[in-house]
A and B are shown apart, each in its own frame.
Chain A
């Protein structure tokens, strides 16, 4: 068990190293002087010289990398010249809507998609199964922002039930917060639900073909017990895996969804940073999202041990 966790922990080190190197090299790959790129379009030559000194741009590349990674590990992500703040402050300011949106979406999507997927597998070939499969293909195919605008059009503009855009902090007013979370979460959920429902159905179907399911039926157990006690628990590992991998979709979707609904989160920040070529911010956001993604998947890997005793080596 400890051995397993240690292995997983060690395994993510090279992954994160590659991410760090990529993020570091990003800036060097842009045409032009990195210091000038960081300082932005309106910088004075003094500012540029200052940045050059700070980043050690006159040093060899690996020294620059060492300086950079040293700073990052101390939580010093540099300064955004466009927003006139340190990147750390900027992110702290923008993180809440993104976390709120992701958590709402994740909870809603998992709560809906897993039961749907199980039921579709259980009734393979039925009308319900076909409808679920049909919707899941549709869910993959309609882009998030189109879904978002459709929802806004119907529920906010035509029906007027919910606000169109905007964000209210959870500590300011919970109900207003919730009201403004419904449409974005729904939007972001669609693709996620499609993905998890599909994989749930496929995993359960695969498990239902296993020999031990036949054994369970030969014991005279009811279909419900066979499904819930024997099939679902065995299907849990692939389902969890896909939920973990789906976090990437969630993060990508958040960028788009926040733009549609005017949520001042990290996704929106990313787009603003790219549009203003604010590299310290872009680098940090990418690094941060990647770390979050890797760590969540690490936790999921470790959680397999709860579901499958064979993984405890």
Chain B
């Protein structure tokens, strides 16, 4: 075990002490033994889950962690009996307080749901019925599983709404889901799941769709509630930050198999298996490293009071005005990476799209070198387009499925007059640059994985020989191990080509790793802007402070392990 010790020694995990105390009191709530779930024929492997065993004790939070395709969600749905028809549990047993739920019939399963085991889901936006009030939806649980009369039910619901810390329970009771925020909806889901004090709560990526500050609140709430009720929690996540924040024990999954399992502190600090080491090493540190300064480099991009306003129309109301970006002043020098971080709706993508002139800015100026492009008419803009290139978030929608990779990469250069042969030669060189096989140019996008596609998109951007590369959440959709590789590639390219990079992300860890400068945006405005080290090390703005304080697992420094 060659653990190259992390810079700061691991602080104790807050969850660790409590776990010892409580696990003494409770036996197993959930025992999964040798569970195998088979995939339909024609899938890439025979089993979604293979011979997985683990337990969840009373009062304990167990995290199932793994990348996409690891089968972690399948396990959760199998426990609840909510598996899609195509997937079949073919072996093992799942004991809920000693009762095998795999053998239970549909009626028995229904009785168990929400009374002894409950589940909350990833997408609070769609998990609630849009046409019923929140109160009615919780009430259904009570009227299905209890004999309480209407008044007693209402009292109980208002009680649980208060316990999940929703303001004005009476108003929330009568609200429809669309009238609440994402965080509030997730609280409703938690209230619904816990109203009958189940012994087991399954949380399937419950905070993945939420902003980081909301995520912190929800994680805190789940921890508090399970502590006070002694609930066993099976928590599914891909995020090691969340694991460090909340888990007592961790099970690592890969391709449907259990890689290893142990107490959180042990898995994070002294992982036994190579795969776990690789995963943990891939987690970017939240502390920026010192990077060289480029005081004398020329400025590639400068924005001056850049703003974008959307107006909606109303008949009886005033016209709704949404200021997506206000007074944004940024500049990026050659060879420098500027990160814009912020939560959803902060305006960070709007700024990127204004700079790339995919949308027209409403106010302010954008200087590309000495050229002002914010107000330039579309006709004159074309020669300047090649100077700014953008890589988008979704690797599956960034490429036209009908066009080969070669045509995709050469499209831009050929638009600007490069011959096909030269363009192809350039494409081959760039495929090597992004570490892909140059002979794959005649393949179609669907033959590549998400990470590979993102590399192809980078190659295509580079083919234009741009001065500024914009990465709009370009690694957010990728698994952590792939993310690490793409980040390294981007940084290497920046260095080699002395490129200016504008990096848009919601992920503070990613920003800390790749940025020289960071601009923090909130509600359309830049609230803090400075060198990454300074912003992360000593934030001055209150919002920035709150944002950083909410980052999950910020106390834990993830070690860098040599690959086993």
Contact flag (A, B; Cβ within 8 A): yes
Interface residues of A (CB under 8 A from B): 2-3, 6-7, 10, 210-212, 214-222, 225, 229-230, 233-234, 307-310
Is B147 interfacial (CB-CB < 8 Å)? Answer: no
Is B359 interfacial (CB-CB < 8 Å)? Answer: no
What separation, in Å, do the CA atoms of A136 and B109 have in the docked complex?
A: 37
State which of B16-24, B314-322, B505-513, B528-536 sits at the interface with chain A.
Answer: B314-322
Residues of A within 8 A of B80 (CB): 218
A309–B178 touching, CB < 8 Å: yes
Residues of A within 8 A of B145 (CB): 220
Residues facing A in B42-83 (CB within 8 A) are: 80, 82
Is B515 interfacial (CB-CB < 8 Å)? Answer: no
Is B123 interfacial (CB-CB < 8 Å)? Answer: yes
User: Would A215 and B121 be within 8 Å (CB), given that A2-B316, A220-B115, A221-B140 are in contact?
Assistant: yes
A212–B130 touching, CB < 8 Å: yes
**Candidates A218, A222, A234; contact of B130 at CB < 8 Å:** A234
Is B349 interfacial (CB-CB < 8 Å)? Answer: no
B316–A219 touching, CB < 8 Å: no
**Candidates A211, A214, A220; contact of B144 at CB < 8 Å:** A220
Which residue on A lies nearest to B111, using beta carbons? A220
B130–A219 touching, CB < 8 Å: no
Residues of A within 8 A of B110 (CB): 220-222
What separation, in Å, do the CA atoms of A214 and B145 have in the docked complex?
A: 18
**Candidates B130, B141, B314; contact of A220 at CB < 8 Å:** B141
Residues of A within 8 A of B351 (CB): none
User: What does the 1/0 interface line of B78-115 toward A look like (CB < 8 Å)?
Assistant: 00101000000000000000000000000001111111
Chain A-chain B contacts (Cβ-Cβ < 8 Å), number: 79
B113–A218 touching, CB < 8 Å: yes
B176–A219 touching, CB < 8 Å: no
Is B192 interfacial (CB-CB < 8 Å)? Answer: yes
User: Would A234 and B131 be within 8 Å (CB), given that A219-B140, A220-B145 are in contact?
Assistant: yes
Is B126 interfacial (CB-CB < 8 Å)? Answer: yes
Interface residues on B, range: 20 to 34
Is B303 interfacial (CB-CB < 8 Å)? Answer: no
Interface residues of B (CB under 8 A from A): 80, 82, 109-115, 118-119, 121, 123, 126-132, 140-141, 144-145, 176, 178, 189, 192, 314-317
Residues of B within 8 A of A220 (CB): 109-115, 141, 144-145
The smallest beta-carbon distance between A210 and chain B, in angstroms, is 7
Residues of A within 8 A of B128 (CB): 212, 215
Question: What are the 6 closest A-B residue pairs judged by CB atoms, nearest first?
Answer: A220-B113, A211-B126, A212-B129, A220-B110, A309-B176, A211-B127
**Candidates B109, B130, B315; contact of A6 at CB < 8 Å:** B315
What separation, in Å, do the CA atoms of A307 and B132 have in the docked complex?
A: 10
B114–A219 touching, CB < 8 Å: yes
A-B CB contact pairs (8 Å), 20 listed = A2-B316, A6-B316, A7-B315, A212-B129, A212-B130, A214-B121, A214-B127, A215-B127, A215-B192, A218-B82, A219-B141, A220-B114, A220-B141, A225-B140, A225-B144, A229-B140, A230-B132, A234-B130, A309-B130, A310-B178
The smallest beta-carbon distance between A302 and chain B, in angstroms, is 14
A3–B129 touching, CB < 8 Å: no
What separation, in Å, do the CA atoms of A309 and B180 have in the docked complex?
A: 13
The smallest beta-carbon distance between A5 and chain B, in angstroms, is 9
Q: A212-B130, A219-B140, A220-B145 given. 17 additional CB < 8 A pairs?
A: A3-B314, A6-B315, A6-B316, A211-B121, A211-B127, A212-B126, A212-B129, A214-B127, A215-B192, A217-B82, A219-B141, A220-B110, A220-B113, A225-B144, A230-B132, A233-B131, A307-B131
